[in-house]
Structure 1
Amino acid sequence: MANECRIAAGGMRGRALPATVLLMAVLGSAHAADLKITAEFRPSALDPGHNAFVNTTPQSGYCAQHPSLCKKGDFTIDTGMNVENRRLYGGGTDPREKWYLAVDGNWRDVTVRNANNHELKARLRLFLVGMQWGLPSDGSAPGTNGASSGGCRGRIGVVTSGWYRYAWDVPEGSRVCVFSPFSSTDRVARYLAFSIGYHLETPNPLQAQDGQYTGSVTYTVGNGQQIDLGQGDYSDSELTLQLLLDVFHDFQVRFASDAPSVQLAPDGGWSQWIDHGRPPARLRQELPFHLTTSMDFSMKLRCEHDAGIGCGIRNTRDDAVVPVDVEVTIPGMSNTHDGRPAQDTPLLPDDARAPRFTPDGYLMQRRSTLRFTAGSEAVTEMLKSPGSQWQGNMTVVFDANP
């Protein structure tokens, strides 16, 4: 996405290219359950400091079924997976025939990319597993005996005539948690479904391009795997969580006129030169504009007439060219290369040296300035040709792509 403004002695015109949102599909593997986790960022005029993704995944699973048993910020999603022939046995020594949970509760790094292959980093971890057991026809729920091991904390169970639901909070790390049923318990569950709770840390959306970012993280599921609910027959061997992060930036550059012109003049006007013959030290003109943005962008310069390392204006009489320096000031933005404020930052027709800026927050109609300056050497050269006219086109590109 880029905005261009073309600047000339006779005028300037602007053009905004529309943002493009592309979806890059992520395919699941065989015998795997795929769940979509969605979040989005939209700048808010009511909260300019807002710089985080908002979870838009529909709540399901344990916390949707029993919200009173979940804390603010808890979020669960139904996996759609189940375990059959799950034996729950109070006798014996096999922990996987008890109330059992082994889960990878470590933070997992997830790389997400957009259609332009721009990368961001996210992190995700499982912090809760909710389970639903089918009960026998008499509706009796199996009990528990003693304390659990492994560090997982149980939440209150909910029972009806047909099922029993409960959940375990999972601390960070690879945990194996066991809770013994009554010693007399010996039954095989008709059906066991489960949901997961996750914490998601997302990147700073102000540094992201417009569009959708996708990535995934996969957990193995089953006997002895990263998610293990005990001995049984599992419907799927993998659980893939697909991240879809949508970024809807606001980006607009507005000038006071549809066709503004830049007329270089001395500080204080031409009277010192006209009345006293004193040559001006420089010629310059400031061109104000208003910027609305919630994203990073670079500023690139294009020249009709090259002059050294920058742009210049040409004498229409003899084709001589003198340099004109171009600088930009944008309050509320910083240079991503060195962290300095975007103040009097030079623009050059060298993309490798193009400054890239990042906003402190959502900037709305922020008054900014482009300044054009012909220095003393340029002025000396221009004064050698009394009555001459100097002009040239310069294009300033506001580029949100890297």
Structure 2
Amino acid sequence: MRRLLNRRRVETMIRGKTGSRSFWFLILSLMAEAAVSATMDIRAVFRPDPSKPLQNKFVNETPLSGHCEMQPAFCKDRELFSLLIPIGFRSVAPFEAGNADQRRGPMFRVPGEWQRLSVKHSETLEKADLEVRIVSIGGRYILPDTAENLVGTGEPTSVQGWHTRLWGDWTWQPPQPCQYTGGMYTLPASRTFFWLTSGSSVCAAKANYPIPSVTYDRMQIGYELRTPNPLEMSSGNYFGSWTYDIGPGMDFDMGDIMQPDDSTLTLSFDLDVQHTLKVDLPAGGNKVSLEPEGGWQRWIESGRKPNKLYRDQLFYLSASSRFKVMMLCNSTGGTRCKLYSPTGNTTEVETYLTLPPGIIRSGESGSPTQVKLYPLRHNTWTSVFQPDIYVNRKAGSLRFEMPRDSIDFLLRPGMRDTFSGNITIIWDSDV
């Protein structure tokens, strides 16, 4: 299911003082049939985890089927995912005993190299790269008769023994270089298999006895993913797909005897990015009073004019996505916001942003820098701030400070007045 772009805006109010004929129908029907492709949906989600702020990666939420559903611990240790695929294979000729050509016997080759594809944001069309590779193949082979009847008399005389005699070295262990995974079962006329493959190498076996026909069903694949960095992606859903060809000499190649009932397999990907952008103010943090360092009393007692009138207002930031910030106030432009008094006097204040460690911006040289006392401008978005880790409720601050000329105006002899104004800070992950 597609989600709308998750755009979060956090606003802080600050108040301060001082898409004819049966012949033609036949052609259309054939064209439509040729276009049919088996499609499997794969979905991975990124949600920031406050308990694991350094583990910023997608979680594959595709329901497991096949081997990994039955053997979850085995697959979890290898970051392996299995899928039953709606494709079967049937032999078009018998397997001859001791076949010299591996292509005329039971052979398996999968597309085991990493394939890179682009996924595209459903709203912004922003792109990211995803990689996938197939690392295992499995299914069930079905014989035209029991293995016992195909091999005749001899030892061993057990269900597993008859299958072993039929295929020789292909017992519970797969033909090299495929690797055993366990969890298989054998019946008189069938047996399951699921093997780890080795890149795009061929795993091939020989039949010790003639086998008139074979069917593969309940086919399954195992795959691995390399997902993009979610911290560099926008909130929302990214979609993409990769299509494999199936058949002799194709991506999935089961030799010349076993023919597929579908010619392609498409993996359809949905990467769902669910970012967090949240700003929390302490109680009363929406009202700010500007004072000299150390308070007014210290200045009164010393009889000297203070060098600064300011206030650092703490806030707590949770962010897993890029974001930008804008300041709105009563201003003629630039960095200054106006404060007014009941008597008609006006003074100005500037606002500076400091962000917690883990959030960076591009500096003048292009290198990433920490965000400390970054001046905000009226009705102007800042440059984009980028978390390099998930920041969970870490402290930052807004400094509201009067420029020197405003201090001089305010603290001139005979001035007695109160000034106030509103400043709105907007945080937006829609970048």
Smaller-chain TM-score bracket: 0.7 to 0.9
Please, which of 73, 85, 90 is the counterpart of residue 91 of structure 2? 85
Name 1:234's counterpart in structure 2.
260
CA 1:237–1:378 in structure 2 vs 1: closer, same or farther (change >3 Å)? farther
Counterpart residue identity of residue 336, structure 2: C
Tell me the residue number matched to 1:143. Answer: 167
Counterpart in 1 of 2:372?
343
User: Deviations 1:16-41 (Å, cap 9, x if unpaired)?
Assistant: xxxxxxxxxxxxx9321111112223
What residue number does 1:171 align with?
A: 198
Q: What is aligned with 1:16? A: none
1:215 to 240, 248, 258: 240
Gap regions ≥5 residues in structure 1: 11-28
User: How many residues are treated as equivalent by the alignment?
Assistant: 379
Q: Is the 8 A contact 2:58 2:230 kept in 1?
A: yes
The question of whether the paired residues in 2 share the 8 Å contact of 1:32 and 1:236 is answered with yes
For residue 159 of structure 1, what is the amino acid of its counterpart?
Answer: T
Structure 2 vs 1, CA of residues 66 and 367 (structure 1 numbering), >3 Å: closer, same or farther? closer
> Against the structure 1 CA distance between its residues 287 and 230, is the aligned structure 2 distance closer, same or farther, given a 3 Å change threshold?
same
TM-score (norm: length of structure 1): 0.81
Q: 2:188 aligns with which of 139, 150, 161?
A: 161
Structure 1 residue matching 2:201: 3-state secondary structure: strand
Match of 2:401 among 373, 381, 393: 373
Q: Give the Cα–Cα distance (whole angstroms) in 2 for the partners of residues 45 and 290 of structure 1.
A: 14
Q: Does 1:38 align with 2:68?
A: no
Consecutive unaligned residues in structure 2, runs of 5 or more: 1-7, 18-33, 149-162
Identity among equivalent pairs (%): 26
Task: Give the alignment partner of residue 14 of structure 2, picking from 7, 18, 24.
Answer: 7
Q: Aligned pair in 2 of structure 1 residues 349, 195: CA closer, same or farther (>3 Å)?
A: farther
Deviations 1:272-296 (A, max 9, x none): 6545653322211111222233444
* Cα deviation, residue 163, structure 1: 1.9
Q: Give the structure with the larger strand fraction.
A: 1
Out of 327, 333, 342, the position equivalent to 1:301 is 327
Say yes or no: does 1:125 pair with 2:133.
yes
Q: Deviations over 1:366-392 (max 9, x none)?
A: 333211112323323444693355444
1:108 to 115, 134, 157: 115
User: 2:103 matched to which residue of 1?
Assistant: 96
| Among 196, 219, 225, the residue aligned to 1:200 | 225
Equivalent pair of 1:135/1:162 in contact (CA under 8 Å):
yes
Kindly indicate whether the alpha-carbon contact (under 8 Å) linking 1:305 and 1:311 is maintained by their aligned counterparts in 2: yes
Distance 1:41 1:69, change over 3 A: closer
Question: What secondary structure sits across from 1:72 in the alignment?
Answer: helix
Question: Helix, strand or coil: the match of 2:57?
Answer: coil
Q: 1:358 to 1:155 in 2, by over 3 A?
A: closer
Match of 1:311 among 336, 361, 364: 336
Distance 2:350 2:11 in 1: 18
Whose helix fraction is larger, Structure 1's or Structure 2's? 2
Which has the greater radius of gyration?
A: 2
The change in CA–CA distance for 1:377 and 1:150 in structure 2 (over 3 A counts) is: farther
1:309-357 CA deviation, whole Å, 9 max, x = no partner?
Answer: 31322455667664x3322233343214243334333333475642413
Moved more, 96-105 or 46-55: 46-55
Among candidates 254, 270, 280, match of residue 244 of structure 1:
270
The answer for the alignment partner of 2:29 in structure 1 is none
Aligned to 1:393: 422
